[in-house]
Structure 1
Amino acid sequence: MTDRINAGLMRLYEDQGHRIVFWYDAARDLRTAFDAVDLPDVIKVEIANNEFGLKYRMLRQEAKARFLLYKDGPEPPMSENWLLDVQLASAVFRADQAAIWVADLGIPAKYEAAVRNHAEFYRSGKRLEALRVMEHERPSQSANDVRRKMLAVCAGADGDLDTVIEALLAELSEDREDALRLINRVGLGKFFWKEVSARYGYTVPEPDFQDFAITLFSSAWTCAVGEVGKLNADATLMFRRWSASRRWGEAFEKLSGDYQAVLKITEDLASRDFRNLIPYDHFEEVDRRIIVAMVDGLAQQSLAATDVLKWVRDRRQSHWYSRYADVYQAIGYATEFQQVLAAADLIMTSVSDGVRRYSASWFRLDQLYRKFIYHMQKSGQSGLLSALYEAVENRYTTNFVLKLNDAWQDQVSRLTDWTVPGFPRQMDFYREQVAAFRRKHQKVVVIISDALRYEVAEETLREIRKLNRFDAELQPMIGVLPSYTQLGMAALLPHEQLAIRDDSDLVLLDGESTAGAAAREKALAAGRSGDRVKTLAAKDFMSLGTIEGKDLFRDHDVLYLYHNQIDAIGDKLATEENVPSATEATIEDLVKLVRKLTSANFSNILITADHGFLWQHKALEESGFALSELEGDIISRNRRFVIGRGLSNNGGMKKFTAAQLGLNGDQDILIPNSINRLRVKGSGSRFVHGGASLQEVVLPILRVGKQRKEDVGQVSVQIIPPARAQITTGQIQITFYQAEPVTDKQQPRQVHAGIFADDGTLISDEAELEFDFTSENPRERELSRGFLLSKAADVYNNQTVFLKLLTRIGKTSHFEDHASQPLLLKRGISTDFDF
């Protein structure tokens, strides 16, 4: 007790600046405590019929000394207190338990009732210390101020009533009410509900926190859809901030799920146009309603693609987006697929024209289909997306792949030799691509990714170009026929002659076997006399340390890395449905490989493939198989080619001789027309290669280099000023503009937006906005967002406030200004219904 008395007294002297302190021992039981007081530079004196002498001593003789005046007994009436004038200019120390707490906390004595009436609160040292910290940071201006801090301590909150409510909502979501019970136990229950009523407009005869929570959800929802809620604007603002907070995400989701049924939200949504629901995320059912409507509309082609893409972008602001991210992305890719397909004119005038047009734009349809299937599979919501899947699958297989390759087959059927004028051949890859570096005495590394078809390489190109100081370019190359691994891999090595062995589909390179790493390395060494060469599995290179990687560069002139992810998954019946995820992994692997290669000093990097592939998610129907009977001596038979001698068929297949394909030997090769497959027992039919479809034979040459200068930035965001730069109600709608489209080198920007007073006080809700628009059309790079003003805004009426965009500094918790727009806050009398 002595320590608390000493501490309380010192606060009066040091913190509050008093020189003279009076101590009345009304119960006459604190003399021992007074005697024990020992404060530096404080003179202890007892008041005992010596008032005039004391006054003279304190005011004249020792006018700068500190005095502690103790009286054994109660404070005298004012008319009998001869030291009243001194006392009124000084401080009185209250030494009962409540007074000690007041002094200990540094709370002004006039607010003592807030302590005395809630003694139970102060019996906990932990609560006392928490309140002391709050009081130190922001001294109370009233007894109710003290009580509000006590509420915050009880709830474990760190601010005003909003944060108390947030903490109590979290407990409610866990079926607990510890804080609420404590609030009642310390006598703050009535005060709490009075505060809730005044702040949020919740007024009921018998207040209950769960009832308040349900009312909060109900009111926020009805206000959002344009109806009158039971609570006021501050409640709506608090709900918006709480529901958007990452800290309280789990609590929001739990209560939202609980009250979704209570408030009959599913039935409510059934009668609403889903377009009007796009801005809202109060309940998970809102997302499901929007998704179902978009899926049905796309499947029936009754929604404009531009609208759907905008809705998908807007829903990224939804609290539930992470739960449905893959669903929304699947919808987005399906929409783009339909958009691109509608604009595609799948005709060609020659094989060269077909390759040119496929590598310029048609490949995008394969890419969009693959991305759609990937996100559909990843979402685990194939049932929700089933109508859209059926529509996309049918249009992809029938309206694109089949139609495209039927037109392509018309051109291929006219060929006598397998050649496409104007495009490099896979057979010439080493001489035209690799050796070109060696002729300039430059080192080069080649990454051969099995089944890296052109559209996958194009996505890889974009991912590499996103890297700072990296650049890349892509061109198409014509693969060998048949388009299978052994032949494609051999064609990429230096050689004079290629041949398929007489008794199998194994390949000979200048008469030598190409099977295995040793054979490939031997063939690579023959490319240029004196070259130091190495072949290595990509995964083995990735396991090298930094020094080992640099040693590899130092000791070799040509490095071939072999990567196998897509073919390893697709070429197995049990796993061929996982081709989309294998493709995503491949792109990630290749980007990592490029980064590691450049860190090991490799600066000339080529990425290519042995062959492409045909793939569809749905199992083939009977019409997808070639029906012709084969005649002749069959050496090897695959889904997409047959090797033999004296081969013939009754139609449905294109016949080449080995010589017509640029191969040595006397074999015949049959290729099924268009995208048809041959029946092969035990083999998968959804992922195939070996044939002459554009998807199988248009291969990538992806050149990667590294620049010296920084070349990656972020798009800039501007605030479009409203016609009248004023806020006249409780909310304002603001439009933002992304100044340039996102490209490989101009990356998206995330900003925090809010309205701030001139002194930095936040007076609205905050929003986290993502600007990643890729459109060249400026109007399609605009984003609108509404902001609700808080109660704190009332203080700044008729003042200039600022809508600010803030960007995070690196990965820190600090932000810097990106853009600012002054607005005149000029509201009339604030009401609960002024928005």
Structure 2
Amino acid sequence: MAELNLKQINARLNEEFRGEKRKLVFWYDDKAEFAEDIKDIELDNAKVYFLQPDNQFYTKYFLERKDKENNYLIYAPFPKPDVRENHLEDTLLYSKRFFADRASLLMADLGVDEKYKNIIEKHIKFFANKDRTQRFYDLEIEQFNEENIIVGMLGSICRTQTCSFEEVVRAVLSDGECEENKFIDAFKKYDLHSEFWKLCERHFGYIDNTPSLTNFVLTLFVTYTAKSITGELPESLKSMVSHKSGNIITFMDNLKNSVLYKDRYNELSEFVSNELNIVKVFENLLPEELLYCDTFVCIDKIIIRWIKERLLAEDTGAMLDNHSIKEVVSIRSKMHFSESTGKIYHMLGSAYDIVVSAKYTCPDSFSDILEKYKTSDYKIDQNYRHFYYDYDGLDDSEDFEGLRELVENIYANEYLDKLLQKWNSGILEENAYGKLPLQIDFYDSNIGGLKDRTVVIISDALRYEVGHELYTTLADDPKSNIRIDTSLSVLPSYTRLGMAALLPHKSITMSDDYTVLVDGMSCDNLLTRQNILQRYCDNGICVQFDDIKNMKKSELRDVFTGKQLVYVYHNQIDARGDKANTEDEVFVACKEAVNEIADLIRRISSNANTHHFIVTADHGFIYKRDKLNESDKINVRDKNAFVNRRFIVSYEAIYEDGIENVSMGRILRNEDGKVVSFPISSNVFKVSGGGQNFVHGGSSPQEMLIPVLNIKMERGHIDTGNAQIALVSMVQKITSNVTVLEFIQSEAVSDTVKATTYKLYFISDDNEKISNEATLFADSRELDARKRIFRMNFRFKDKKYDKNRNYYLAAYDEGSGEEIWRHHVVMDLVGESF
């Protein structure tokens, strides 16, 4: 019982016991409504005596013989016995009776109109529990009517925070199985079961002679599905469609998009899918009819299967509802089940780009090959990497094995074979090394003469396309001013020679035992490299990334203070790729490398007063998933040669099919008489140990073209803002239950304009949500404004709308929950308004 009722009763009882004369007051509580509350009664001038049905004789003795001085309230949690059975009847003649009408007390406390007393009396059992009644009070219902009283009781049972039937339904749906539901059982216990189903009919149009939670859930999901399928609903589902679709769509949108309830939505979706055998029911629907429906995850499976089949047929021009495969991937990857299907869609998007490259053509001139690789061909390597990154992350990839084989075949045979053949013809041209900056000139070209402190991050095996991903990542940082260039590595493109080329030097030589020397000094570890660096820069140091990655702010400052040049050696990609047991993790390592380097740059910039960075690599790599055949391995006969999978250094050139040679003296700009021999394809030399899929050292653009990122981080605060959206369709009046509106993303996403997700829906002037909730991803980088226009569908609740009230279309930032703007509309639905 509510505290206020107790105060009323206390006041009335204390009034009864006023005066000097001894008084006995009997309270027969017929329905034991106050049995729990009586212990909280506080009487100023009387004691409480608890009467039991079997202690009447003792009570009479106690009151009339044992204690004749004190006042007593005699409380009996049962009806007054008949006169012939009541041994206290004569005591009652000189005593008083107290009557407490719980229904009246409740109504007085709450301000409920007398006309609703029958509802309170009918469910008086509900109010017999103090905690349950208090929860009813805590709902703070402002305006009582029959529905609000019922919903309040239902909400108290479900422990909702507001008097909302939608909240009640959400609570009910969130509790366990449909057939054994504690809230439904509680509704039955307190005689609210039929009222609950009447409200389900009133709000959601669910009509059933024998209502059940299972059938109700089926109605919700089928109705929700019917409005997002563009074709005709299968016959077996039509009888389950409610006439109150607007209310259901709004409710289901909220359930699906709620952080609190989305997991339960997924569970119910799977339950309904199994109950109705949705996979079979939808087997005759066309994929384009399901494009915008995300009620069941099996719909994604249907669309994923369609995309896979189109790709396997190399039908890259296939479309769904005038959307290309790439656009379908984008649409579906942003829908509800993207947490479980997003990786598959991303994989399919990468596969699509690879399949498109099946018609790959390579330019003839070396200059054109270089330019095409820097502007577009690198994306083929990047898409290949992304494909396997997602493919390897699938729980079960068996269904996509055929697609993987196609991707592998196109990448290896249509792309690499064509590119490498012409590339290697070009790299041997006399003037090839003058077509772009050379790695061997790195220090003089990028560092010599710099006055501000500079950090050079050398990431082992960070090939050009991975470096370009780092460029894209940092370009979105508003504090970053970044440029990406390309340089041509030394050949052979392996770590010791590449690391030497990046150091300041007058000469680089390779001794007779194939040791690499810089100015005659060894350079194969951190200390020897630092010794060389300090000959050219007194305040230069070399550090390992792993030694500083977890340093605190003060520790970082200690490392950088007083230093002019810092070489940071990062080894994520090569460390895993070069080992047979981890080489297939190399694409995961690439992702981690990008994140680690970007994070390090931000940390150093913020904490160590350093703002100039250069990121580059010692070499790149080639990775192919399929194991090489023995026929792809080239036997080596010179036992005195320096043999690697992708190169041989020896004193004699190797003249065999598929092998080319270049003078080491040409590479190192000296008189070295040794020769570098390398395959002109992606084949390898036959050597023992190591892996087979990850290789470097050869002459491919994937191995030799390395990124040079020049980054300057701005000091202090940089103003950034979210991508803004505006309504294109300036609608003033809503005249249909379904409305399609157009929105525009005002600016393209950039380093100062951040991608933002918005929630859009219509509300009334008292903030009731009256439409479904649409999600707009303002993440477009398109510079053409016409390509930043989005169409959104809105369906309204089935209810009466007052043309004289205010209604709005409201936009909310999903991240912050902040309302961005609202647009006033008049609701003028034909046949619905009043």
Instruction: Report TM bin, short chain.
Output: 0.7 to 0.9
Matched, 1:541 2:548: yes
Which residue of the other structure, out of 376, 385, 389, is the alignment partner of 1:374? 389
Q: Deviations over 1:450-509 (max 9, x none)?
A: 0011111111011112223112111001100100001001111111111223124x3111
Q: Residue 77 of structure 1 corresponds to which residue in structure 2?
A: none
- Contact 1:632-1:647 within 8 A present in 2 as well: no
Q: Residue 114 of structure 1 corresponds to which residue in structure 2?
A: 119
Secondary structure of 1:220's counterpart equals helix
Which residue of the other structure, out of 104, 125, 132, is the alignment partner of 2:137? 132
Q: Residue 426 of structure 1 corresponds to which residue in structure 2?
A: 439
| One-letter amino acid matched to 1:635 | A
- In 2, the alpha carbon distance for the partners of 1:8 and 1:563 equals 77
Q: How does 1:275-674 map to 2 (within 5 A)?
A: 275-304=288-317, 307-339=324-356, 345-350=361-366, 352-415=367-430, 419-437=432-450, 441-504=451-514, 506-528=515-537, 531-599=538-606, 600-622=608-630, 624-626=632-634, 630=636, 632=638, 634-662=640-668, 664=670, 665-674=672-681
- Contact 1:752-1:766 within 8 A present in 2 as well: yes
- Contact 1:634-1:647 within 8 A present in 2 as well: no
Note closer, same or farther for the CA distance 1:637–1:104 as it changes in structure 2 (3 Å cut): same
- In 2, the alpha carbon distance for the partners of 1:304 and 1:280 equals 23
- Contact 1:752-1:807 within 8 A present in 2 as well: yes
- Contact 1:467-1:712 within 8 A present in 2 as well: no
- In 1, the alpha carbon distance for the partners of 2:5 and 2:752 equals 67
Greater mean alpha carbon deviation, residues 462-471 or residues 109-118: 109-118
- Contact 2:611-2:714 within 8 A present in 1 as well: no
- Contact 1:8-1:104 within 8 A present in 2 as well: no
Per-residue deviation, 1:552 = 2.3
Taking structure 2 as the reference length, what is the TM-score of the superposition? 0.83
Per-residue deviation, 1:800 = 5.9
Matched, 1:210 2:225: no
| One-letter amino acid matched to 2:276 | L
Matched, 1:231 2:242: yes
| One-letter amino acid matched to 2:570 | H
Which residue of the other structure, out of 816, 823, 828, is the alignment partner of 1:826? 828
Which residue of the other structure, out of 751, 756, 760, is the alignment partner of 2:763? 756
Note closer, same or farther for the CA distance 1:660–1:116 as it changes in structure 2 (3 Å cut): same
Q: Deviations over 1:87-130 (max 9, x none)?
A: xxxxxx98323333334444344422222211221122221111
Q: Residue 747 of structure 1 corresponds to which residue in structure 2?
A: 754
Note closer, same or farther for the CA distance 1:28–1:408 as it changes in structure 2 (3 Å cut): closer
Note closer, same or farther for the CA distance 1:144–1:804 as it changes in structure 2 (3 Å cut): closer
Matched, 1:179 2:196: no
Per-residue deviation, 1:6 = 5.8
- In 1, the alpha carbon distance for the partners of 2:427 and 2:681 equals 9
Instruction: Work out the percentage of aligned pairs sharing the same amino acid.
Output: 26
Q: Which runs of 5+ in 1 are unaligned?
A: 13-24, 40-92
Greater mean alpha carbon deviation, residues 356-365 or residues 184-193: 356-365
Note closer, same or farther for the CA distance 1:121–1:189 as it changes in structure 2 (3 Å cut): same
- In 2, the alpha carbon distance for the partners of 1:381 and 1:28 equals 71
- In 2, the alpha carbon distance for the partners of 1:577 and 1:661 equals 31
User: What value does the CA root-mean-square deviation take over the aligned residues?
Assistant: 2.9
Greater mean alpha carbon deviation, residues 243-252 or residues 691-700: 243-252
Matched, 1:784 2:802: no
Q: Deviations over 1:515-535 (max 9, x none)?
A: 21111111111124xx21211
- In 1, the alpha carbon distance for the partners of 2:758 and 2:10 equals 48
Q: Residue 272 of structure 2 corresponds to which residue in structure 1?
A: 259
Which residue of the other structure, out of 693, 715, 724, is the alignment partner of 1:716? 724
| One-letter amino acid matched to 1:445 | V
| One-letter amino acid matched to 1:806 | Y
Per-residue deviation, 1:289 = 0.7
Q: Residue 248 of structure 1 corresponds to which residue in structure 2?
A: 261
- Contact 2:648-2:677 within 8 A present in 1 as well: yes
| One-letter amino acid matched to 1:146 | I
- Contact 1:542-1:596 within 8 A present in 2 as well: no
- In 1, the alpha carbon distance for the partners of 2:596 and 2:143 equals 59
Note closer, same or farther for the CA distance 1:741–1:369 as it changes in structure 2 (3 Å cut): farther
| One-letter amino acid matched to 1:398 | N
Per-residue deviation, 1:304 = 3.0
Which residue of the other structure, out of 748, 753, 768, is the alignment partner of 2:775? 768
Note closer, same or farther for the CA distance 1:317–1:796 as it changes in structure 2 (3 Å cut): farther
How many positions carry a matched residue from both structures?
743
- Contact 1:446-1:606 within 8 A present in 2 as well: yes
- Contact 1:281-1:319 within 8 A present in 2 as well: yes
- In 2, the alpha carbon distance for the partners of 1:3 and 1:559 equals 72
Note closer, same or farther for the CA distance 1:558–1:4 as it changes in structure 2 (3 Å cut): closer
- Contact 1:451-1:566 within 8 A present in 2 as well: yes
Per-residue deviation, 1:730 = 1.7
- In 1, the alpha carbon distance for the partners of 2:550 and 2:788 equals 43
| One-letter amino acid matched to 1:142 | N
Note closer, same or farther for the CA distance 1:189–1:175 as it changes in structure 2 (3 Å cut): closer
| One-letter amino acid matched to 2:747 | E
Taking structure 1 as the reference length, what is the TM-score of the superposition? 0.83
Q: Residue 283 of structure 2 corresponds to which residue in structure 1?
A: 270
Note closer, same or farther for the CA distance 1:828–1:798 as it changes in structure 2 (3 Å cut): farther
- In 1, the alpha carbon distance for the partners of 2:278 and 2:478 equals 47
Per-residue deviation, 1:691 = 0.7
Per-residue deviation, 1:776 = 4.0
Note closer, same or farther for the CA distance 1:177–1:760 as it changes in structure 2 (3 Å cut): closer
- Contact 1:481-1:661 within 8 A present in 2 as well: yes
Q: Residue 703 of structure 1 corresponds to which residue in structure 2?
A: 710
Note closer, same or farther for the CA distance 1:98–1:826 as it changes in structure 2 (3 Å cut): closer
Per-residue deviation, 1:779 = 4.2
- Contact 1:327-1:381 within 8 A present in 2 as well: no
Greater mean alpha carbon deviation, residues 565-574 or residues 193-202: 193-202
Note closer, same or farther for the CA distance 1:5–1:324 as it changes in structure 2 (3 Å cut): closer
Q: Residue 76 of structure 2 corresponds to which residue in structure 1?
A: none
Per-residue deviation, 1:747 = 2.6
Which residue of the other structure, out of 804, 808, 817, is the alignment partner of 1:802? 808
- In 1, the alpha carbon distance for the partners of 2:168 and 2:512 equals 82
Note closer, same or farther for the CA distance 1:779–1:297 as it changes in structure 2 (3 Å cut): farther
- In 2, the alpha carbon distance for the partners of 1:744 and 1:333 equals 25
- In 2, the alpha carbon distance for the partners of 1:150 and 1:754 equals 29
- Contact 2:123-2:191 within 8 A present in 1 as well: yes
- In 1, the alpha carbon distance for the partners of 2:11 and 2:180 equals 39
Q: Which runs of 5+ in 2 are unaligned?
A: 13-23, 30-37, 46-97
- Contact 1:616-1:687 within 8 A present in 2 as well: yes
Q: Deviations over 1:651-676 (max 9, x none)?
A: 32111222122255332221111322
Q: Deviations over 1:338-378 (max 9, x none)?
A: 44665x6411313x432233122211111111112111212
- Contact 2:648-2:678 within 8 A present in 1 as well: yes
Q: Residue 7 of structure 1 corresponds to which residue in structure 2?
A: 7
- In 2, the alpha carbon distance for the partners of 1:94 and 1:329 equals 72
Note closer, same or farther for the CA distance 1:428–1:116 as it changes in structure 2 (3 Å cut): same
